Amino acid sequence: MDRKDIIICKDLHVELTTAIEAVQPDKVFVLTDTTTCDCCWPQIEHLPILHDATMITIPPTDEAKTLDTLATVWTALGEGGATRHSLLINLGGGMVTDLGGFAASTFKRGIAYINIPTTLLSMVDAAVGGKTAINFRGLKNEIGVFNESCTVLLDTRFLTTLDAHNICSGYAEMLKHGLISDMDHLAELLRYDLTEPDFSALQGMVARSVEVKEHIVEQDPREQGMRKALNLGHTVGHAFESLALAEGRTVLHGYAVAWGMVCELYLSAVRCQFPQSLLRQVLQFVKQHYGQFIITCREYEQLYGYMTHDKKNTAGSINFTLLSDVGQIHINQTATKDEIYEMLDFYRENI
C-alpha cells in the first residue's frame, strides 16, 4: 500500500470527502455494526458526499463474522444497485473492516473500499495491511483474501468513547510493534500511562505504530516471510483464546496477545538470548495492565494441542516468531514440547 493511503486525520470530514472523490464512485455504501451506527455514523452522516449513501448495518460481535452476515452484505449491495464502480466504506472495529473488506473484495469480483477503524485494535492492526476475512466452521478468519483498501482514515477521536479494556486490547498490538521495531518506540510505549490515557499523546503513538506495520506489510504483503514478525505473541495468544472459547471464558484478543507475548519473550530469552531485563519490564507492564489469564498445568496438553493446530504452522511443527533483542526478529522458529511446558510454567509462576 502506498504511504499516502493511510491518513492520520486532522479533519475527518475533509479527508473522507477527498478519499471518496478520488474513487469517483457511482454509489456509496456505508457498513456499520449496530454500535458504530449509533456512536460513530452521526459524526459523518451530514457530509454532503454521503447524502445518498446506502447504510448496511450488521450485528457487532465476532460471532456474527459469518458467511450468513457476509451474504446479507452482498444482498444489500446487490439490492442497493451496487456496480463494480461503487464504493463501500467500513466504519467500525476489526469485525466490520475484516468482513466489509471481504464483502467488497468479492462483490462483482471486487469493488473499492475505504476503512474508517473506530477501535484502537482495528486502527493499529485489523484495518491496515489488507487482510480481510470471515470466521468459518468455528475457525477464526478461516476464509478471506489479501486486498488493500483504497484508503484507511485514522481518527483517534473515536477512541474517547472506548472503554478501558478495549484501549488495553489495542495497546497490546502497539506493544508488539514496539518490540519488533526499536527501543525508543518500545520505551515510549512502556512509559505511557494506560490507566489515564492521554489521547493526544496516543495519536502520535498510533501513527508510529501503524508505520511499523505498514513498513513490514510493504515488504511482504502476503505473509511469505517478514510479515510473520507481526505474529509475535499470537501463537500462544491464539491458544489462550481457543482455551477461553472452549471453557466459556471471555478474553479480548489484545489481552491474549499480551499474555502470549510474555510467553514468547520467555521462549525468546531461552532460545535467542532475548535480554532478561527487557523480558521483566514487559512482564511487569502486562501484569499491571492486563492481569492474568488463569491456567493450570492440567490445561497444558490442551494448549499445546491448540498450538499444534495453529494455521501458521507447516509440516507439523509449531511456528513461533521470536526476538533476540528489540527489532531483532527471528521468524519460523520452533520449540520442543518440554520448552513449551517450561514456558507455560514461567507464565503461571510470574504473571
| Site residues for ligand GLY per CB under 6 A | 125, 129, 131, 223, 227, 230
Nearer to ligand GLY, 50 or 322 (CB): 322
**Nearest residue to the partner ligand GLY, using Cβ:** 230
Minimum distance from residue 228 beta carbon to ligand GLY (Å): 8
State the minimum distance, in angstroms, from the CB of residue 147 to ligand GLY: 13
Residue 259 Cβ, how far from ligand GLY at the closest point, in Å?
17
Measured from the CB atom, is 167 or 230 closer to ligand GLY?
Answer: 230
**Rounded to the nearest whole angstrom, what is the least distance from the CB of residue 2 to ligand GLY in the complex?**
17
Is 27 a catalytic site residue?
A: no
Q: Which of 238, 264, 289, 319 is catalytic?
A: 238
CB of 150 to ligand GLY, least distance (A): 18
Q: Is 227 a catalytic residue?
A: yes
Catalytic entry in 185, 213, 228, 289? 213
- Tell me if residue 287 is catalytic: no
Question: Which one of 65, 177, 185, 227 is the catalytic residue?
Answer: 227
108 catalytic? Reply is no
At its nearest, how many Å lie between ligand GLY and the CB of residue 322? 16
Say whether 131 is catalytic: yes
Q: What is the 3-state secondary structure (H, E, C) of the chain?
A: CCHHHEEECCCHHHHHHHHHHHHCCCCEEEEEEHHHHHHCHHHCCCCHHHCCCEEEEECCCHHHCCHHHHHHHHHHHHHCCCCCCCEEEEEECHHHHHHHHHHHHHHHHCCEEEEEECCHHHHHHHCCCCECCEEECCEEEEECCECCCCEEEECHHHHHHCCHHHHHHHHHHHHHHHHHCCHHHHHHHHHCCCCCCCHHHHHHHHHHHHHHHHHHHHHCCCCCCHHHHHHCCHHHHHHHHHHHHHCCCCCCHHHHHHHHHHHHHHHHHHHHCCCHHHHHHHHHHHHHHHCCCCCCHHHHHHHHHHHHCCCCCECCECCEEEEEECCEEEEEECCCHHHHHHHHHHHHHHC
Q: Which is nearer to ligand GLY, 131 or 208 (CB)?
A: 131
- Given 208, 228, 234, 289, which residue is catalytic? 234
Nearer Cβ to ligand GLY, position 78 or 225? 225
Is there a catalytic annotation at residue 173? yes
Q: How far apart are CA 93 and CA 118, in angstroms?
A: 5
238 catalytic residue (yes or no): yes
Beta bridge partners of 152: 6, 115
65 flagged as catalytic: no
Residue number, 125 or 264, with CB nearest to ligand GLY: 125
Residue nearer to ligand GLY on the CB measure, 33 or 223: 223
* Number of other CB atoms surrounding residue 307 within 10 Å: 21
Exactly one of 15, 214, 223, 264 is catalytic; name it.
Answer: 223
Catalytic residue from among 4, 109, 137, 191:
109
Q: Which residues are catalytic, by number? A: 109, 131, 173, 213, 223, 227, 231, 234, 238, 253
